[in-house]
Structures are given as structure tokens and as C-alpha cells.
Chain A
Amino acid sequence: MSTTVTFTEFNGASATPTTNRTEMNLKSIDDSTSSYQVNTIVANSNSFTKYQAPLHSGTYNTLNGATFKISSNTPGTGITITGSLQSTYVTPSQVASGDSAMSLVGLVGTFRATSPFGTGGVAGYTAGGNVYASALRLQMQTTSSASTGDTSPVTITYMWSES
């Protein structure tokens, strides 16, 4: 009695989509398949930026309130997770994204049909059919004091309302 939500990741220069992503590990490579354990982030460098967007399918009347938050944006000494909602795709890189620390209380996005990127996003979507919410861009940024090994796990949560 509600929409089905899956997450699509976008990689490469042409924003190649990979559907049904089930993790959002930040690593030193721009892909959706490699293990973060063999693509580690060296202290004083950054992960590649990572773009993922929710895709709603199924029947509904309205969708609104697309909101993203993180359980902790400092998962270790010298480590910050930055985040923003993007309607423009920029090829992922390890250059600092310029985003602020990912919000603990929530970034509110919009909905767009066919792609999360482009113009015309709306806060409340009523057209029906499959629709993307905003793409979340995350990056792990580290300083020289970053601790080694896995960080403390953090959880990224997507919230929305529908009728």
C-alpha cells in the first residue's frame, strides 16, 4: 500500500546508472562494485564523490518531503563525511566537493521523472509513474590525523511522505 523505493548509483563521466544499490561505501575508486577494503582512502585525501538517488515505483497519489540525513558525519578522528543534494551531475573525483558536513537533521530535496539530474524538480510530485528523488552526493574527507582501519559505521536515511 505504498511505493517501492530502490536506490540508483551514478558513476563515470556519463552518469552511468546502477540500480538496486544496497550500500553506500565511500572509497578511492568511482564505481559501484569494487570493495572499499581494496580501495582505501589514504589519510589526508578524500574518497571519490558518490551519487545515489531513490527511485519510487508503484502506485501513489502524491509524493513529498524527500529528506536525507546521516547518523554521524564524523565517523573517526580526522574524518568528515560531507553531503549535499544535487540536480547537476559532476564526474566523481577525489577533489574536495565543497559540500558541508552531511546534515544530521535532514536535507530536503525534490522529485523528478526519468532522472534525478536536470531542471524542473518539484517538492510535491503528483504526476504518477516512476520518479526519482534528489541525488545525494557524499564524500569522505580526511586529514593527516585520520585513524587507520574501518571507520565507525554510519547510517544514511531517506524519508518521504506519500498519499
Chain B
Amino acid sequence: MYLEVEFSDGFILNQLKQNDISLFDASRNTFYDIVNKLCELEHGKMKRLSLFKDSREYSIDWTVVPSDAKPVCLKTFSMDINGIDAHVKKMVNVEFGYEYVDVKTKKIIRSVEVIS
């Protein structure tokens, strides 16, 4: 499973190609760059956010989401400490989408798809 972002100047940030290491902070991952919009200064606005998982692509047209929206890619894992499957990391699901603050209600609106 990996993320990919396309920016307005055509630059594509691919989590796999970056080995999931931030372009700006080696102790962070690619999503850190994405959620903090660190590439936008050099490459312009995000145009597309995609999640590739199990040969499927889940894409969001970022030009139509609210301007203050933040990407969401929250993976939930499970790992047995002991037993026959000890230390086998299993992904339970991933929440993929975006969230933003509604200007009228001031509430956080979360638009995510839960992908198993």
C-alpha cells in the first residue's frame, strides 16, 4: 500500500519511490510532507491524492475539496505479542480521505473511506 500525490507543476511525490522518508525531515515519513503541504512552495497546489492498495487505486481530485482540507491516511494495525503469529503485523484497515473545519459550525468534517 502506498500514497501518491500530483502537484500543479506535474511533480509526483510517490511514497514507495521515497522509501517513505520525508523530503524535509529524515525522521518523518512521506505523509508528513503531504499533510503539512511541504512540497507546495516549490511545486504548487496538490491536484490529486491517491492511495494504491491491493491493485486498486483510490483517488481524490484535490482541486474540488475545501481549501483548508487536510489529507487523512490513518492505518490501524494489530500485532500478536506471543503465539503462533507473534510479531506478524496485520493491517486492520486504513481510513483514507480528508477532513476540514466547517466555517459555519466550526466542527471538523471528516470525509473518509474505510478500506479493509
Which residues of B are found within 8 Å of A90, using beta-carbon distances?
none
For chain B, which range describes its interface: under 10, 10 to 19, 20 to 34, or 35 or more residues? 20 to 34
Interface string of A1-44 (1 = CB under 8 A from B): 11001110000000000000011110000000000000000000
Interface residues on A, range: 20 to 34
- Cβ of A144 within 8 Å of any chain B Cβ, yes or no, is no
Interface pair B89/A161, CB less than 8 Å apart: no
- Which of the candidate stretches A58-66, A91-99, A114-122 sits at the interface with the other chain? A58-66
* Pairwise interchain contact A161-B75, C-beta atoms closer than 8 A: yes
Chain A residues within 8 Å of B81, by CB:
7, 24, 52, 136, 155-158
Looking across the interface, which residue of chain B has its beta carbon closest to that of A157? B80
- A162 to B91 Cα, complex, angstroms: 11
| B50 at interface, CB cutoff 8 A | no
Q: A1 touching B32 by the CB < 8 A rule?
A: no
Alpha-carbon distance A158/B80, docked complex (angstroms): 6
Neighbouring A residues of B35 by C-beta, 8 Å:
61, 163
| A46 smallest CB distance to B (angstroms) | 19
Task: Note all chain B residues with C-beta closer than 8 A to A25.
Answer: 82
Give min CB distance, A108 to chain B, whole Å: 13
Question: Once bound together, how far apart are the Cα atoms of A23 and B81, in whole Å?
Answer: 7
- Partner of B31 from A153, A159, A163 at Cβ < 8 Å: A163
Q: In the complex, which residues of chain A have a beta carbon less than 8 angstroms from the beta carbon of B78? A: 157-159
Chain B residue, CB-CB nearest to A20: B87
B82: A residues at CB distance < 8 A: 22-25, 155-156
Q: Please state if A159 and B77 are interface contacts (CB–CB under 8 Å).
A: yes
Interface centre among B2, B20, B31, B81 (most CB of A within 10 A): B81
Residues of A within 8 A of B2 (CB): 1
Q: A78: CB under 8 A from chain B?
A: no
Is there an interface contact between B87 and A22, defined as CB atoms closer than 8 Å?
yes
Contact check, A59 vs B29: say whether CB atoms are below 8 A apart: yes
Q: Point out the residues of chain B lying under 8 angstroms from A161, CB to CB.
A: 74-77
A85 to chain B, nearest CB (A): 13
Q: A61-B35, A156-B82 are in contact. Are A128 and B75 (CB under 8 A)?
A: no
A54 CA / B77 CA spacing, docked (Å): 13
Report the separation of the CA atoms of residues A158 and B77 in the bound assembly, to the nearest whole angstrom.
8
Across-interface contacts of B79 in A (CB, < 8 A): 5, 54, 157-159
| Bound form: Cα–Cα A161–B96 in Å | 13
> What is A's interface to B at a CB cutoff of 8 Å?
1-2, 5-7, 22-25, 52, 54, 58-61, 65, 128-129, 136, 153-163
Q: A60-B31, A60-B32, A61-B31 are in contact. List 6 more A-B contacts (CB 8 A).
A: A60-B29, A128-B27, A158-B80, A158-B81, A162-B77, A163-B75
